[in-house]
Structure 1
Amino acid sequence: MKNTKIVIVEDEAIVAKDLRNRLQKFGYIVSGVAASGLEAINKCLEFCPDLVLMDIRLKGQIDGIEAAHEIHKHLDIPIIFLTAYADDKTLARAKITEPFGYLLKPFKERELQINIEIALTKHKLEQQLKTHQKWLSTLLNSISDGVISSDFEELVTFMNPVAESLTGWKIEEACGRNSSEIFNIAHGETHEPVESPLKKVLQGGNIVGLPAETILISRNGAEIPIDDSAAPLKDDQDRITGAVLIFRDITERKQAIEARQKQVEQEQLVAQLAEINQLKNEFLNLLSHELRSPLINMKVMIQMLQMSIASEENQRYLEMLEIECDREMALINDLLDLQRLESQSRPMLTPDVLVLEQWLPWVIEPFQVRVQEHQQTLQLNLPANLPSLLSDATSLERILAELLNNACKYTPSGGEIILSIDHNPSEIPPKTIITIRNSLEIPTAELTRIFDKFYRLPNADIWNQGGTGLGLSIVQKLVEQLQGIIQVESSDGWTTFRIILTDLVATAN
């Protein structure tokens, strides 16, 4: 090889000179000549030659074998020993340094040249192999998949860091163990063992994959869903020498698939609910037309009969029919109102400036006659300097009417109904609190259901009080649309409904 630099280590000057001449004759460059082991080390560190011809017996405390050992610590240089000694002890010591040649003196010129060329070629091939191995090792250690290789006996020969992490085994512990012990897999649902893909590859010689729902059971018992494939390793004669397994943790993939499946199911559910809601709306619209019209006609006919029939008993029956018609009409109206409130995602509200000192007496006026008939009292408590409230007058009037109607129905004779207002300007935004109290105590267990649809107090029939059981559900929806809060409590013989409101404009901002 041209421009090959060689260092000669020989303590006999005549032999060293002869070697120099022969090497130069071959076309090699002699970078330096050393007569001792220490000098040889220094020459190699100085010139970094391509090859060293090393005599074993040298002057000084360090012989050629020790010098070679020290050189290998710092430099990757092929060394050929030139010696007159071939005893077993010397040979055993020399083998430890992994020399590229061992020539016994005297040797022929052609033998020397052949050994040098073989050593240089072998070293070059080893360097290429080391480079490829380093490249392969870097590649396997940097990929995100786990890699395990085995020999033909299914014994582990390699694992990359990802495989170590997933299996819980370090490569130092795993190498030499059966791959099935390290790569412990089972079915995700049944937990039945799954045959190792490495074993299948070694038996069949084909690339194989894992069945669906396979989990890896790590050394600490953790279960990891995985996907993988295994392939055979073959030599130049196409004979199987082992197998390699590549696998990956698919936990995130499964979670993404499950999340997407849930999303699809939710979208389907939303579509189904929208369809059901549409059907409900169509049904209620039909109900409104088909039931309201006959009831209105029935009520008109009842009124006509009342005017034409003089019998007191007949009049009583007609009054009962009219009451039942009114009850059915109220139920239909409440159903339609509740359906409208529940289906409105963005309610159409008309903010009005309500001067509560004037507006509230107007709202409760229709109930004053009613409470007098039942020997009840209806009291309105308003604080001084009560500011106006910006709210939807129609919705708020319906809320108060429903609550006052319930209070009148369930308050016993001689009982009290109190409507009061409280305003707290220090809060941001300021809040207006409307409280309606009546002298009736409701069991605590019933309070949790009081806003449910069609719910009525257990003793409502005993009190002979009718109703649809939808009034408080409508109240709750209306309060929510006004962006307020409604609360209820009952103790010490009193039931209190508390409505907390803010100005609609302030809430929107």
Structure 2
Amino acid sequence: MLKSKILIVEDDAIESMDIKINLENMGYEVSAVTSSGEEALPMISQHMPDLVLMDIILKGKMNGVEVAQKIKDEYDLPVIYLTSNSEEKTLEKAKLTEPFGYVIKPYDIVLLRYTIEIGLYKHKMEKKLESRLQYFKNVFDNAPIGIFHSTIEGKFIRVNKALSSMLGYSTQKELINEVNKLNVADKIYNSPEKRPEFISNAIKDDKWHSYKNEYIRKDGNIMIGELYFRSIRNTDGSIRYLEGFITDVTEQKELEEARMKTEMIAWDRLAEIDGIYDSSPIGLCTLDKDLRYIRINENLARINGFPAIKHIGKTPREIIPTISEKIESMAKKTLKTGRSIMGVEMEGITPSMPGVLRTWIVQSVPFKDIDGNVIGISFSVLEITEMKKAQKELFETVKKLKLSNEELQRFAYVVSHDFKEPLRMVLSFTQLLQSRYEGEFDNEADEFIGFIIEGSKRMERLLDDLLTYSRITTTEEKYSEIDLNKIIEDSIYPLKLIIEENNVEITWDHMPTILINRTQMIHVFQNLITNAIKFRNNKTPKIHISVKLERDQWIFGVSDNGIGIDPHYHKRIFEVFQRLHRRDEYDGTGMGLFLTKKIIEGHNGHIWVESEEGKGSTFYFTLPVENNNI
């Protein structure tokens, strides 16, 4: 099965990368990622995605709402908005584009997946329904025979072009208006007394009945028509309306065969549409202008707790009184404005599960007649009770994890800080023992003392790194606008001796001034420069620090001509306590790059390495141009 393709339009690079990773983990294909509306439109033609995730607020000439409107007009693709705290005016404009859902940032993965799945399914169903409805409309409007729906009292509900034409009227609306001033029999029957017999037969059963009948055209001439009609009933057995076909047999009786074929195709398609409606996993219903149920599928009937037939003719107030006020409010607003209301979250209790508070996503859409007049409201209802419960449990879990993490950070600080004093005492006295008595014991004793000193020094370095980690994760130092040229100079100064001893050449591009934590950023550059010197080869060590601006982020690179790193280990080196070499080859605790990664991520950035063995390394990291989330 082909994966659904999704285009991400998000101007926050970290946010878009996170969404991309999560979508791919869900099994979707991310066809492209862009940060601007101008780039999004040509990408749609190029990649033809199945759905677009669109940030409402975008930098550039076009915001997300404008882009979504163009996508709707030109490509007819489902759009789901990514939004946080948008202005009410912007949200009102967004609603006009009729999106397939909203995802609130910071987003919940479960809700993101649900919204996408529902959007894809809804679009698929809408396209299928639209195709079927369009097919029926084309058949109805363009059939070579007259087709009509009328009330039992003889008022036309709808007619097709062929019927209005054969009766001499220029439009369907003109025919309906003229006939409905009186009724079908009195206005266009040459013998009005025949209609009671027609109606009597229609009431008896739902079979097709046929009669020869004479009709009065608009110009007064008589048309002989072959009339076929039957009754369409409500679920309670009452007649909803009459449907029929009229063939002009004044000159052409042979149209009968074509009429029958057209009739079968049209109603087969309607049956397919009915099947989609009734089997939908989403609750669906339609209310008339008096807010009474005229149709409901089994799914919504089960939610409400009554059989579908028990709903017909009743109001929500009679069926689901505890939430009827909210439903009626949405319905009245849709009737008044003629606009859809999308994605309203609603809580309440229904008779199907007394005493249980449930949650749904509810949408209302205007239901229109053939002339575009709003004659009712269609609702779609999706229950998300279990999802909300899972969301709450996830929130509690995250809260507990946060508390646990804070306790772990405090423990790391205590361990690293309070353990240093006894360790320093062990190291000092062992070194004193070595200086006074080295050579007075056997070689094995001297070796053991050396092991104690070396192990103590390694433990001391490890505790220093743990202390650094605890300070990084709990620091209260404020972020400020700082010139990174000064940061690099301050990073190099403590390394002056090792730089001179190894003839290291360090150069850097002119750096920007950005919002950072000074102490943490010095640690980043100091660690990357120290690593470049440590893992040098027999060449003169050369280190270059580069920077370039790309869209809404700065990309920094620290390059060296050292021993390089096998691509197999590119991700591993950023994990805590991970080393690629033995301690007798290269010193270290394996925490340097882990701490560097934590600092960069704390600045809303990302770090990675590009390297091959023997070809040097370049460590890249990004920092946002505007770090508003710090």
TM-score bucket of the superposed structures, by smaller chain: 0.3 to 0.5
Task: Give me the TM-score of the superposition, normalised by structure 2.
Answer: 0.38
State the TM-score, normalizing by the size of structure 1.
Answer: 0.46
Report the structure number with the largest CA radius of gyration. 1
